[in-house]
Every structure is written in C-alpha cells, then in structure tokens.
Structure 1
Amino acid sequence: MDFCNFFSALLPLLVLEKDGRVNALYSTPSIYTDAKYATNEAWPLKTDDYFPYADRINAYWTGYFTSRPALKGYVRTMSGYYLAARQLEFLKGRSKAGPNTDYLADALALAQHHDAVSGTSKQHVANDYAKRLSIGYEEAAKVVETSLASITRSSSKTDSGNKVTMFQQCLLLNISYCPSSEVDLSNGKNLVVVVYNPLGWKREDIIRIPVIDGNVIVKDHRGNEIESQLVPLLNASLAIRNYYSMAYLGKFPSVTPKYWLAFSASAPPLGLNTYFISSRKQKATAAPSKNQVVYSSKEKQKDVIEVGPGDLKLVFSAKQRKLIGYINSRTKVKETVRQSYSFYTGATDIKQASGAYIFLPNGTNSLKPDHQALTVLRGPILDEVHQRINSWIYQITRVYKGKEHAEFEFIVGPIPISDGIGKEVVTKILTHMKTSKTFYTDSSGRDFLERIRNYRKDWNLDVNQPVAGNYYPINLGMYVKDDDKELSVLVDRSMGGASIKDGELELMLHRRLLHDDGRGVAEALNETVCVQNKCSGLTIVGKYYLRIDPLGEAAKWRRSFGQEIYSPFLLAFTQQEGDGWTNSHVSSFSGMDPSYVLPDNVAMITLQELDNGQVLLRLAHLYEVGEDKDLSVMASVQLKKVFAHKKINKVTEMSLSANQGRVEMEKKRLVWKVKGSPEEVPKVVRGGPVDPAALVVELAPMEIRTFVIDFN
C-alpha cells in the first residue's frame, strides 16, 4: 500500500474535528474485540456461516470453491504427506544439521493465503505456490527416506558392513508413473514396498502400483504369499502418463508398464509393514488378460451389468452406458442411482462474467456417454468400469472387495474452448430420495452444516441465481438423507458442491473460462500445460467416493474414511537381492504400544518434534454431539501407550495455536453476554485436566486439544 496516498486521503477526514485534536492509532483485531466487549452489550449467537457470499446481484463468490483444482489437489496431497513426514521425523529423531520438514511447512502455510489454495491468484503466482510446494516435498522426502531407513534397520540383525537402505517414492502415482515399481524382477531381485500408516488406528487398504511384467507374486512381511490382482493399464491412463511426465520431468518414461498390481496391505497405527514383490518362478497358468471382460453394446447380452467382488454391487446399463443402481447385500440398501456429466456455460456479460471468484452460469449442457462400450475389468480384489464420456472426459469406477463404497476416478480435460465458450464441468448423482430441499456440507472438514436450497436462516433471500446461489465449499464431503437412508460423497480436494434438486448431489470438478470477473485477478481462469512449446488446457485427474447407508449409520464411514483419504498410506520402494531383507531389517513396526490403538472417534492431527526437543501433539475428536449413537461420546487417550518407547517427563496443555499455555489463555478469555434465555445457549462439554500420573487425555465431541510434551 502507498502510505503517502493513504494519509493524503485520511487527512481531510481528520481535520473535520471541531477542536482540532485527533487521537489516531493503528488498530488490531484484539483492540477491536476489546472495544466491542467494553460496550457490555448482549450479542446474538450464530452457529452456522455466511456462505455463499455475493457482493451484488448475480455475483456469487462460489466459483473459487473449484478454481485451480490441480493446485487444490496438490495442497491437499502435500498436507497429508507433511503430517506423515513429521511423524517419521519424530520417530527417528529430528536432525539439526540434515534435511527437515520446515520448508514444506512454510510452503503449506503460504498456500493457505486467501488467494492461494482458493485459486484466485494470477497464473504466475499460482506457479510459484506450486514450485514452493515441490521444493518443500523434495526436502521432506529426504526426511521420510532417511527415517524409514533408520526405523527398518535392525541393530540386532545388522552387521556394521551393511549399507544404509536407499528408499524411493512415487509422487506421480496419480498419473500411473512410478519408476521405482516399474523394474525388471526377472533377475531374482525383490521389490521391497514399505507401507507406512500415519493414522492412530490399524488399517487395511488396497495398494495399486504400475508394473512392467504380469508374472509376479506378492508376499507379506512374514514371507507368506498373499492374493494379488493384475489390472490392465489402458490407453486413457497411458496417454496422461506420457504427456504429463514430459510436462513435469522433461522426458518421456523409459518403459511402459502393462498392468496395475493390486493387493491388500495393512499396517499398525503410526507404524509400517513391508511387502515383497518378486518374479514368479513358474509362469502363471492363466494370462492376466483373462481377468478382463469387455462388454460391447453391439453384442447380444443382458443390458444389466453388476460389478463388485464383495457386498456392494453397482449396476450399469450396457445400452445406456451409465450407472443405474446401487445394492449393498449386507445393509439391505438398494437405490436407483444415476450419475452423469454436464457443464455450465460461463457468462461473458461485460457487466459480470464468470471467473476465478464468480460462478455465473449462462445455461447448462448435458454430456451423454460416448458410443464406445463400457469396459469392465473383474478380479478377486476389485472390479473396474471404464467409460469414455466424450473426447475430453474419461471415468473409471472401482468397487473393492471388503469396501462398501464406490470410487470414481475422473479425467477431465483439456476442456475445449475453440467454440469461444468457457465451461464449468460438473458431475451429478441422481436418486429418488425425498430430501426436502435439504443437504449437508462440511465446515473446514469438521462439523457438517445444514443447507436448505434457496433459503437463509438469518434473512429473507431473493433468489436470482438458483444454481450459483446454492453452491457451497466442500472440503471433506456432503450428504443428503431421507426417512430411510443417507447418501454421502467424499472428495479428495476442495471443490464446490450443491443439491439443486431433491435427491441429487452435484460436484464441480473443473473450470476453464475466457473472461476476467472483475474481482482483482485481472486475467481469465484459463490454465494450460505446455510440452515442447505446444500448450493445451489443463487436465485434472481426481477422485470422489460414494456410499449409501441406512439412516443414522453413515457418520462412521464419513469420519473414518475421511481420515484415510486425507492420510493415505505412504509408500517407499527399494530393491533387495534374494530373501536377505528379513535377516537385516525390521519388517514390521509400530510407533505406539503394539497392543494399543487410538479410539475410533479420535485422530492425531499433529505429532511434531520441535527445535528444542519438545514434542507438539494435537488430538481431535472427530464427531459432533449426537452425530453417532456410539461415537459421539467422551473419548480417552492414554499418552503412556501412545509414547510407549519414551518416558514422559511433563505434559503442558496449550492453546490451539500452541503460542500460550491453556491456563494463561483461560485467564484472558472474555465471557460474552448472549441474547436469549440461558436455556437457548448450548452447554459446551470439555475434557478434564490431564492427571500428571495417569496421563490420560479426555476429548469431548468436536474438541481439539494441544499439548507440549517433555521427555526424559
């Protein structure tokens, strides 16, 4: 800001005082708050938010909920990676001289700027945010690799002559690119896959990695062969892989994998298990392609196709080439479900255009699936359905054995603009549920807020934008419910969402627009990727997840699986001659007491060793009051078992930001007068003080508690 101009503008206002005296100061939020408190007024209690914003008619700030979806996805991925990297940094011991996680921490903090992850910066600024995240990742990756090498190396089994294990990771698995797993194992080497679990619960999930040969087997850390599945890597994924590896790395991949290798992996809380992939000594009797079943609409066959190797079955129509039903044999839930794609035409009016901030649709266009037949790939672990929606949208739907949700992977882009029309791409889930204009969206991934279409609780709403005016930010997920069931959708990054009609949910996946919206960016939201001086629109690869539960039973999945989306397994790869790994390494490890797991309603959201050797710990209760009949209760965490490998000397509870002690903060807390009767003010329940001998932390629903811990 030009302070000279600022004071020049302020001066005429100052001399308006009759006696010429002026008391001017730079205010702060705390000064403002103290001034309001000093008025001794009673204030209304507001427990929801003010979304969606509009600064004038037909100008809803709901476009930025999705703007720059690649950056949003990158920030989300790096946030989860940072959480795991800090844990491993603590488990090994923070290095004062070597690499650390600080640069990634700074890059992520910078990305929280209101013009960063929101997608409302200029393109060159967005590039700088991504560059800083990339530099931070490279530094944190060194921490992860050295920490895993330290944890897996057993001093009791290793002689001093053995080299430190060199691990590698695969940040570009989302585009099917992983040089560490695309290796030739016919020479007798094992591919060692270390699977680290950053959650405080034991978990099991499906690992998928690209491999160049289908003649492989997978063994667990005990040396037992486990079930695996080969899934052909189809052209849509290979095209993305080749183009974007060239864009990111400046070179095409040196090999082309033939398959995804899928297998079920498990790991203890804050711990790891090791898996070994090797060449099968004898050729498999059945070719991997036998797992592939291609359905063609031109062939004589049943119209209805059921997919899913477990309790969940998705039903597709071969003729219509789309999803038509959902059946869960365990819960007895059966629902007509249709999923479709469409795009809103971005308004180009000179008075107000759709842009980085503003979502202003000028009509909608449905996208019918291409005439290409569905491709269905079946196997013992998962089934996949591949759909070519049009030349620039491709979808893979997966149903896993042992999982009761469906995974939708979308490939959207490059969005065509040769017609001079900007497009805002959405996917819709349609059911026959009676939802009474009501749906629910998360608030910063924590509590879910009720949304009612075309209605605001605090004022009478004039509806001038029935679509944009009902869009909300989705960070964790959204859901609708009727008298019998709940339909939930969870996302892998922040995006905009709505329920424009009863029984429907809608997610905006990608935006490419040709005009600025006049809110300060001063350029169109038109992201491109350039390879060899040829540029095309940005392609987005992402996922969302769908599940339908009996009424009142969905919160468990939303909360637990939501944590798994945010904190996926961290994979690290190395190679080993023969079977020597188990003789010189630890193949299974838990950072907590092996017999202990965190309660199902508690997550560890921070575990960080500070520069002074102290440890910062944050624990969060995942459930709201009344959200779940079993888990919306007080929870307890035993710190002695969480830190079973160390001796706790002192535990100090801090404020949420850890910049002051909780006792000190409570002394300064203001007690506000609230309008209404005392019965209308909800009573807040909180966990009690931590006994220094028992060292048990209590957490009430939605409570987050922060501690600094000293160890002997």
Structure 2
Amino acid sequence: MLNVHLVPHTHDDVGWLKTFDQYFYGLRNYIQRAGVQYILDSVVQALAANPERRFTYVEMAYFMRWWNSQTQEVKDLVRELVRTGRLQFALAGWTMADEATVHYSDAIDQLTRGHDALRRLFGDCGIPRVAWQIDPFGHSRDHTELFRDAGLDAVFFQRMDYREKNFRRESKSLEVLWETSVEPDPQSRGLFTSMFYDSYCHPATFCFDDKCNDEPMIDDPDMPEYNIPKRVREFLAHVNTVRRAFATNHIMVLMGCDFTYENAHVNFKNIDKLIRYVNQVQKNGSDVNLLYSTPQCYTKAVNRAMARNTTIERRRGDFFPYASGPNSYWTGYYTSRPALKKFIHDASNLLTAIEQVS
C-alpha cells in the first residue's frame, strides 16, 4: 500500500511584494491577494470542525501578531489543536531565512525567537521537529547544522539545481542523509533531508483554494457536472508519477501555496472528498491510501520504512548555486544592495560582541 501524506499548508512571505503589515491585514490586494489574519482565523475554525484534519504553519512573525489579538476562547481552542497534533508548526523561525547571505548569529536569533515563543505558549509539544525551508534560493550545510543543533529531525525543501533534481527523480534519491560536519565523519548522524518532487504547491488542477479556478469535487451523481471518477483518475495519475521518484511506500503531496487558506472551509471540504473517494477505489484494486498528515508525521513514517528496507544515501556540501534551468542561476542576490548587506553584517557583529560581555 502506498501512503500518500496530504499536507495542508500556507507559505506566507514575511514581506515580498507587500510589507509585513499589508500582508497581515490584507491591504493592497491589487498587488497580491493576501491577508494572513484571515488565513489563521479560517484554519483554526476548519480544524475544529473535523478532528481528522491537519495543518502546518511556519512563520512565527505572523502567528504571534495574530495570537496577541485573539480572545481567551480562541487561544484555548488553539492550545487544544496543538496538543492533539491537528495544528503543527514546522521550522517556526520568525521567518523562513535565506541561507546564502544571512549572518550566522541572525539565523540563530530568529530561530530561537520563534521557538521560545512557542515554548511559552504551548510547552514542549508546540516545538517543531522539522525544518521547512521550501522557498529559499539554495541551501547550505551550515544552516542544516544549525537545524540539527536546534533539535530538528529533518529538513524539507524545493529549490535545487535542476540537473541534480532530475537525476534524483530518476534514481529515487530525493531523500538523503545530509552530512552537516565540515570533515567527513562516518559517525555523524547527519540530518534527514527530503526534496520535493516538484514545487511546494498543490498538484496541477488540484488547487481547491478560493483564489484558484480548478474544479471542485462535485460528488452528486445527479448533477451534470458530476466529476468524481475523473478527478480520482487525475489524482491517481499524479500520485503514480510521483511514487516512481521515491524509495519507500510513503510520499508527500502538498495541498497549499502562497497565502492560501483564507477561506479554509473550501480547501478542507474538497480535500475531505478527495481522500474519501480516492480511498474508496481500493476495493477495485487501487493500492493508494490518502491521509491527512504533517511533515513531522511523514518524517516518522519514512524513517521507519527506511530502517526496515532501505539504505539511505549520504550527501555532503551545499545546494548552491541554485539554477532553475539552463542559464537561469539565482545568484544575483548574493551581491545586490552591498551597502545594506554590509550594514546588517556590521550590526550583527556588534550585537554578537555585546551579547558576549553583557
């Protein structure tokens, strides 16, 4: 049986096309439709409506802004969702930090700030177990060592050189043990690393967000638009493509994208139906089992499966530079705005020195 871990999530840039405040409050939607406060409002209610549902959240800058404006009733509900594993945090830094140009102490500080906030609110059960670096433009060994030292069990990401990704798809090696030590060390436990088959967004034609135009799951057979058999076939076709790139009987399919789930009821209602109807065809011989999941649950399942049946590849070095295609190298940001970068690094050096003597 192939277990397909459906992971509902939202990727909420802490500043990109709009400012932090504009993203949080949903201002200037003519630039980009995004209102993070509505995402969190909506997700909490949708999770409370069905105990089978799961959701993964990442950016603590937004979460803490939202949390501080909630009633005690909502805070108690969120604590229950976290306690039961229905709402889980991944990475949980103040933001999802770049790995190429960020000062090392800044990377530590922003991750520590996010984790400390979760520990104060939810105790140890709120602390994430996996890093979720799905959008930085390349990845460094140093950053991964930081994740391991922070007690994280895995790192997930999308962006890597297109040639290496193609090779790893074909060789079923999209999941590796990433060596974090500077020198080769056969005793190092490394960090389990999972690279997405494609992007960090939903499969093509399966965006159920109300910002999308994909077909919903229409399950009334008396309706002329009834489409369940077609939608099941389409999803199974996607799953059977992805499964060929992974070595175990577990794969992850992400159900979300940038600033999705403002109306989470729409997303979850359709995912509920997708799970129900895909799993129903098991009686006709299908070996695909869909379930709500999280990156943390997926990591546990894959590691158990690999311990029984698979020898995992060990990889060293960085995933730099990132190229998304021929002659498409994402390297300009290494040196852009050099004066600003210098000011930030000088300030970080000064802050680190002060912290050592304070």
> Normalising by the residue count of structure 1, what TM-score does the alignment of the two structures yield?
0.17
Flag the structure with larger Rg: 1
Structure showing greater relative contact order (alpha-carbon pairs closer than 8 Å, 6 or more residues apart): 2
> Quick check: which one's strand share is greater?
1
> Quick check: which one's helix share is greater?
2
